[in-house]
């Protein structure tokens, strides 16, 4: 279980997180929604230790994430980045097997390659993609490779940062289905950041809405439409009028 | 009064920002060196960097040395002729190249080729979240990206300087024999009679320092690149300019140290 308690983060004078309190239960899929620039990615990066919070605590199974063996901590996570963040200089299979080729999870090269090809197959890519370079792939294929990399070491917790951004609706649907299948199949804890309400309904067990640096609403995805929260209502229905100021 | 205070405050802000930058760079350099003694070491990345920085820089460093050696022979001949000292051409070309021009021009050419490419590559990795991805994959970017490049440049640039010395002396030889009517045997004999091993070694030491500076500046500015294409462009430009200026400053300091020793 991941718990954020009163987490604050500012960049200069800009206060991005103003005291986030959030619980992500083990084995559940939590989706964080909110407008652009509301700090969703910052919250996710705080959990991973890529950004240090100014104050507050973040715990994983009761242990402070800033303490203890960092490699062992990160080995429990997989992450799909918004743009894929594939390493341009490495072929696809080495991107997928990156963690299996070095460090504490190191395997023999042939075994790592076999696992990479199996994971590529799992996300719907053929083995001939393995020896291509990321620049030779379409956006949707890059997302799938990123997904294969995120699950390659079979992590307990997977983060998805805007998994469907920039994809056509059909490919977005395919990625949503894959994420849901993989999370259920692996029994992993998932945390997804998205603006895409179709993704929310396809992926989420629970939803949290981040607005103005705090969690405005959180609850099961089934309760989202009857929440009665004006901020959440405005966001999920995409209305220009409401308590959330929109820039025209 | 307000204008004066504003001016002084601007100077103070710039000074503090400059000192903070120097401090950040010094910490980055110290952290890079500290990783030398701590595993893991990424051998494959080191060998790739060695090829990129050393082998692929050979043509540009060789051509620079060749033309510099030739031009130097002509200039020294023209200057030496004023006091009947044309015969010093071979030894001055060799000493000038090995002690000064070989490492400095070689270092500057490597700065232009390598610091820019490292800064652009790492800067692009930064803005496309590849550096964050490395961290989430339990890989320290300092160990994976910076250390192999810095170590490779520190080892490769002295070799480039050594090769450049030989090619530069050959450039002087070709001009001396073909254009200035020196005898081939006499030219080579004068070259090696007056060339001391320290002339060569001091140049190679400079090469190692310049290689360290080039790769470190490329990595540092790449890692601290701003967002977007403009941020990467700025990081690349700053890396080349800073590496070039630091090479010239370090050259003076090293020359002073060698001169006093």
Cα separation of B30 and A70, whole Å? 21
Chain A residues with beta carbon closer than 8 angstroms to that of B227? none
Read off φ and ψ for residue A86, nearest 5 degrees.
-75, 150
Chain B residues with beta carbon closer than 8 angstroms to that of A70? 138
Residue of B121, B126, B133, B228 to mutate for A, most A C-beta atoms under 10 A: B133
CA dihedral A9, B221, B134, A1 (to 10 degrees): -10
Residues A8 and A32 occupy one common structural domain: yes
| B199 inside domain | yes
DSSP A241: S
- Over residues A208-217, the mean pLDDT reads 91
Q: Please tell me if residue B133 touches chain A, with a CB cutoff of 8 Å.
A: yes
Chain B residues with beta carbon closer than 8 angstroms to that of A99? 137-138
| A82 inside domain | no
Interface of B with A in 29-48 (CB under 8 A): 40, 42
Test B133 with A85 for CB contact under 8 angstroms: yes
Closest CA to B136 of A87, A94, A79: A79
Domain boundary among A148, A166, A183: A148
What is the per-residue pLDDT for A236? Answer: 85
| B18 inside domain | no
Q: Please tell me if residue B130 touches chain A, with a CB cutoff of 8 Å.
A: yes
Which pair of tokens denotes residue B144? 């994976």
Residues A69 and A38 occupy one common structural domain: yes
What is the per-residue pLDDT for A75? Answer: 86
Residues A160 and A215 occupy one common structural domain: yes
Residues A59 and A44 occupy one common structural domain: yes
What is the percentage of chain A residues whose pLDDT exceeds 90?
A: 47
* Cβ(B117)–Cβ(B218) below 8 Å: yes
Residues A69 and A36 occupy one common structural domain: yes
Domain boundary among A124, A148, A172: A148
Residues A14 and A136 occupy one common structural domain: no
Chain A residues with beta carbon closer than 8 angstroms to that of B134? 87
A-to-B residue pairs, Cβ atoms closer than 8 angstroms = 51
pLDDT beyond 80 at A247 = no
* Cβ(B54)–Cβ(B160) below 8 Å: yes
What is the per-residue pLDDT for A182? Answer: 83
Q: Please tell me if residue B139 touches chain A, with a CB cutoff of 8 Å.
A: yes
The total number of residues shown for chain B amounts to 261
Cα separation of B112 and B103, whole Å? 14
Cα separation of B200 and B100, whole Å? 10
Sign, CA dihedral B139-B142-B146-B152, equals negative
Q: How many CB atoms are located within 10 Å of the residue B4 CB?
A: 8
Number of independent structural domains in chain A:
2
What is the per-residue pLDDT for A246? Answer: 65
Q: What is the pLDDT of residues B36-50, one digit of tens each?
A: 888 888 999 999 999
What is the per-residue pLDDT for B70? Answer: 96
Q: How many CB atoms are located within 10 Å of the residue B110 CB?
A: 29
pLDDT averages per 10-residue partition of chain B, 261 residues: 88 92 91 87 93 95 96 94 88 95 96 96 94 92 95 97 96 95 93 92 97 96 92 95 96 93 70
Test B133 with A81 for CB contact under 8 angstroms: yes
Domain boundary among A148, A175, A196: A148
Number of independent structural domains in chain B:
1
Which pair of tokens denotes residue B26? 């010094």
Closest CA to B107 of B40, B147, B60: B60
Look up the domain containing A233 and give its range: 2-76+155-237
**What's the burial of B152, exposed, middle or buried (CB within 10 Å: 0-12/13-18/19+)?**
buried
């Amino acid at each position: 279980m991941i718990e954020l308690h009163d987490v604050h983060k500012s960049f200069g004078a800009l206060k991005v997180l103003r005291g986030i309190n959030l619980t992500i239960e083990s084995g559940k899929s939590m989706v964080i929604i909110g407008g652009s620039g509301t700090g969703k990615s910052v919250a996710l990066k705080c959990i991973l230790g890529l950004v240090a919070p100014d104050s507050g605590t973040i715990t994983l199974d009761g242990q402070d994430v800033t303490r203890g063996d960092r490699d062992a901590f990160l080995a429990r996570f997989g992450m799909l980045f918004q743009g894929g963040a594939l390493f341009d200089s490495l072929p696809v299979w080495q991107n997928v097997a990156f963690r299996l080729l070095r460090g504490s999870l190191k395997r023999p090269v042939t075994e790592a390659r076999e696992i990479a090809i199996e994971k590529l197959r799992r996300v719907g890519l053929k083995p001939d993609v393995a020896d291509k370079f990321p620049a030779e792939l379409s956006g949707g294929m890059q997302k799938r490779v990123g997904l294969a990399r995120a699950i390659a070491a079979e992590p307990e917790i997977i983060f998805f940062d805007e998994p469907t951004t920039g994809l056509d609706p059909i490919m977005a649907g395919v990625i949503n289905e894959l994420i849901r299948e993989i999370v259920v199949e692996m029994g992993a804890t998932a945390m997804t950041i998205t603006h895409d309400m179709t993704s929310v309904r396809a992926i989420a067990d629970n939803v949290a809405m981040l607005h103005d640096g705090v969690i405005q609403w959180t609850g099961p995805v089934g309760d989202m439409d009857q929440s009665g929260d004006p901020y959440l209502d405005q966001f999920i229905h995409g209305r220009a009028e409401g308590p959330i100021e929109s820039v025209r | 009064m307000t204008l004066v205070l504003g001016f002084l405050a601007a100077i103070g802000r710039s000074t503090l920002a400059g000192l903070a930058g120097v401090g950040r760079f010094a910490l980055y350099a110290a952290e890079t060196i500290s990783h030398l003694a701590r595993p893991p070491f990424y051998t494959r990345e080191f060998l790739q960097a060695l090829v990129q920085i050393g082998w692929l820089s050979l043509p540009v460093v060789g051509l620079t040395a060749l033309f510099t050696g030739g031009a130097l022979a002509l200039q020294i001949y023209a200057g030496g002729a004023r006091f009947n000292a044309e015969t010093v051409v071979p030894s001055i070309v060799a000493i000038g190249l090995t002690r000064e021009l070989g490492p400095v021009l070689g270092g500057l050419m490597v700065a232009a080729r390598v610091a820019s490419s490292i800064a652009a590559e790492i800067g692009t990795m930064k803005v496309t979240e590849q550096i964050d991805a490395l961290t989430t994959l339990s890989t320290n970017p300092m160990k994976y990206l910076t250390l192999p490049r810095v170590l490779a440049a520190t080892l490769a640039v002295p070799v480039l300087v050594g090769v450049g010395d030989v090619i530069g002396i050959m450039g002087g030889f070709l001009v001396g024999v073909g254009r200035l009517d020196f005898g081939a045997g006499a030219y080579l004999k004068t070259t090696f009679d007056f060339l001391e091993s320290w002339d060569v070694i001091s140049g190679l030491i400079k090469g190692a320092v310049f290689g360290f500076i080039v790769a470190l500046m490329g990595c540092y500015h790449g890692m601290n690149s701003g967002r977007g294409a403009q941020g990467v462009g700025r990081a690349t430009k700053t890396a080349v300019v800073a590496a070039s200026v630091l090479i010239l400053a370090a050259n003076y300091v090293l020359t002073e140290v060698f001169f006093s020793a």
